[in-house]
Amino acid sequence: MDIPVVAVSIKSLFKAEHQIAGCSNCTDRVSVSFERVLDAVTDRPENTKYVLPAMAICPMCHHHLVESTMVQLRKDAHELIFVTREELKARSSNRKTVRTRRA
């Protein structure tokens, strides 16, 4: 079975970007790939591959998105947490330290 390839219009790309609150670069609360957002915007099945007319951009951090980039949907974003990789490492090491102090 052939996988359908769809050329996305610039309007559909903007609609997809508008549904995004953040990406894996700026938040740790990602839940879905950008490709699934495109599926919803274009009403296509999940096995569709897309050709984008331009680079998709995260509305929060302006990081370039590809179809496999994990994103957080705007409807699921109750709060956004912006962290750097160093902060994530510090948070995880602090959590371990706190747990061992309580034990």
Q: At what angle do helices 34-42 and 10-18 cross, to 10 degrees?
A: 120
What does the pLDDT read at residue 1? 65
What does the pLDDT read at residue 29? 86
The set of residues, in sequence order, having a beta carbon less than 8 Å from that of 36 and lying 6+ positions away, is 46
Give CA 86 to chain center in angstroms: 20
For 66, phi and psi rounded to 5 degrees?
-115, 175
What does the pLDDT read at residue 32? 94
What does the pLDDT read at residue 95? 53
Q: What is the mean pLDDT of each run of 10 residues along the chain (103 residues)?
A: 88 94 89 94 90 92 92 78 71 53 44
What does the pLDDT read at residue 94? 59
